[in-house]
Amino acid sequence: MQYTHLGRSGLKVSRLCLGTMNFGPQTEEPDAHAIMDSALESGINFFDTANVYGGTGHRGWTEEIIGRWFAQGGERRERTVLATKLYGTMTDRPNESRLSALNIRRALDASLKRLQTDYIDVYQFHHIDRDTPWDEIWQAIEVAVQQGKILYSGSSNFAGWHIAQAQEAARRRNYTGLVSEQSIYNLFRREVELEVIPSAQQYGLGLIPWSPLQGGLLGGVLKKQEQGVRRAEGRALETLKKHQDQIQQYEDFADDLGHAPGDVALAWLLHQPAVTAPIVGPRTQEQLDAAVRALDVTLDADALKRLDDIFPGHRPAPEDYAW
């Protein structure tokens, strides 16, 4: 396994992050525990979750599954860099969502209880809260750090200027601020190259891409359809029809490279600036094994250029759209 620092922090994490959103709703608890054990065995020490994971009928379910896994002992907690998130609505009561000081305190304590741990390594804001001032947010986070309940802070789904706002507010308080940003980023979705990645680089944040395979469209979907293994539906089917020629070029190029399409998509992300660790969210052990395999894929300059030709990206703003 390869490891790197999370942004400018001294925290070392694996180059793949285990996403747990499927645990509970799609992956039964014994299988989820087995996947987490296997992830540790393969060297993945970075696990990501959120307080809302588990579905509308059982928010917090995923954290509970992870907590029961930690409770089995075997230094599972000590070997894991644990990241969770807050922002989403947990109940229909007021102050049970977003980033007020009250919700930060309550949501953090609730996550700690569900996770059966006394601290969170990386506590992430799942979304920007436009109604809460940053001084209030940072004051609440500073208190949690002083209490030993969290070690680092991260953001998710922030725009570049949101990162700048957060970091400048933290700087005024002589506080570290954010060490990571979690954004959608893959060969299909490259908007973060405009301003989020430049902002992350400027402020020393590690980028944690989610949906690295764009819902499976970069995982060999056409070949799987031919084999009868997978059938696209809904929005994925619409996207597939719209971009079928593009996806076919991509899958053919992956064949030329001698790698599975999903491995190439993950390897491409690992070659991008500021990227710390793509989030892989396996439903099964086989999917986890496939993700780990991508660490052995090296893409040379010609391969990277070919992928840019198939999936054009962005230059940093404003050069992307101005002189």
Q: Mind listing the pLDDT tens digit for each residue in 108-134?
A: 999 999 999 999 999 999 999 999 999
Per the CB < 8 A criterion, the answer to whether 89 and 50 are in contact is no
Secondary element (H or E) of residue 309: helix 301-310
Using the predicted structure, report yes or no on whether residue 234 has a pLDDT greater than 70: no
> Which residues are part of the catalytic machinery?
53
Q: Is the pLDDT of residue 159 over 70?
A: yes
Average pLDDT over residues 256-266: 96
Report DSSP state, residue 315: P
pLDDT of residue 320: 97
Tell me the percentage of the chain whose pLDDT exceeds 90: 91
Q: What is the pTM of this model?
A: 0.95
pLDDT confidence bin for 279, thresholds 50/70/90: very high
CA 132 to chain CA mean position, Å: 24
Instruction: State the chain's mean pLDDT as an integer.
Output: 96
Q: Which amino acid is at 213?
A: L
Q: Is the peptide bond before 318 cis (omega within 30 degrees of 0)?
A: yes
189, 252, 269 from 202: Cα distances, Å: 22, 37, 19
In the predicted structure, residue 193 carries a pLDDT above the cut 90 = yes
| pLDDT reported for residue 56 | 86
Asked if pLDDT for residue 227 goes beyond 90, the answer is no
Higher pLDDT, 234 or 48: 48
Give 230-236's long-range contacts (Cβ < 8 A, gap of 24+).
none
Tell which CATH classification among 3.20.20.210, 3.20.20.100, 3.30.9.10, 3.90.1170.50 matches the domain 3-215+266-300.
3.20.20.100
Say what the pLDDT of residue 5 is: 98
Tens digit of each residue's pLDDT (9 = 90 or more) over 169-191 = 999 999 999 999 999 999 999 99
Q: Where are the domains of the chain?
A: 3-215+266-300
Residue 228 has pLDDT above 90, yes or no: no
